[in-house]
Amino acid sequence: MNVIEFSQVWKSFHRAAEQQLLRHYIVDLFDGADSNPFYALKDITFKIGEGECVGVVGSNGAGKSTLLSLVTGLAPPNRGEVKVKGRVAALLELGAGFHPDLTGRENVILNASLMGFKRKEAMNLYEPIVDFAEMADFMDEPLRTYSSGMKLRLGFAVAINLNPDVLIIDEILAVGDQAFQAKCTEKILEIKKAGKTILCVSHNGSTIQSLCDRALWLDHGQLMMDGRSSEVVPAYEGRRAASHA
């Protein structure tokens, strides 16, 4: 069974997206908007089956984040079709909606509600989340007193406990100190063993190669290669080394 399915997906951003003042908008209307779209993804087709662990590699601006925004349902494609089954948890959403004036506890509950937890799940998982983050002593302090590492740990703890069908990891293994990183990696491997689908995005080939069996290589919005990570990653790194030389 396919969990993620992209068929001939195109995604564009129009270049004037930064100009939102009224006069720009009017000028755009008369010019005929979107005369010069920028395609972040061009004709992407792939399928990911249940339980697969797939890495996405590519340099900056290759379209990796755009791909993730389509998988999580944040944005619709311009052309083509995106199908995703089950509950998606994206570790790029760490701490979305966190507010500095709320306490750690209030932030965890708020974050849980917008990550898609039911109220009961959120209450039941609150203790495990705090335990995982190792922050039980600070939960009644406002978030603005936390270090950035503490915020990330808390966000990671909520996301990883969502028990998702699809887990999306975006350059995230740099959370916290080494011990916490090891704990995160262990948790991710546990999720992988449980037969969940994992999509892992990085510009660092070795992370992908150690975690994923299969890899996709994106370059300037195009799918260059789709195959075993032991073949795709060296090809991507060879190309990158060549372009730097």
Nearer to another protein, 32 or 193 (CB): 32
Of residues 89-108, those binding another protein (CB under 8 A): 90, 92-93, 96-97, 99, 101-102, 106
Nearer to another protein, 110 or 225 (CB): 110
Helix (H) or strand (E) holding 70: helix 64-71
Q: Is 29 in the site for another protein (CB under 8 A)?
A: no
Q: Which of 63, 20, 14 is nearest to 36 (CA)?
A: 14
Q: Is 149 in the site for another protein (CB under 8 A)?
A: no
Strand ranges (E), the chain: 2-14, 37-49, 53-57, 79-84, 88-90, 166-170, 197-202, 214-219, 222-228
Write the interaction track for another protein spanning residues 38-77; mark x where CB under 8 A is met and - where it is not.
-------------------------------x--xxxxx-
Say how many Å lie between the first and final Cα of the chain, rounded: 43
- Select the residue interacting with another protein from 31, 49, 81, 116 (CB under 8 A): 116
Residue 40 to residue 153: CA distance in whole angstroms = 31
Q: Nearest 5 degrees, angle CA 48-CA 52-CA 56?
A: 70
**Cα Rg of the chain (Å, integer):** 20
Write the interaction track for another protein spanning residues 118-137; mark x where CB under 8 A is met and - where it is not.
xx--x---------------
Binding site for another protein (CB under 8 A): 13-14, 17, 20-22, 25, 69, 72-76, 84, 87, 90, 92-93, 96-97, 99, 101-102, 106, 109-110, 113-119, 122, 142
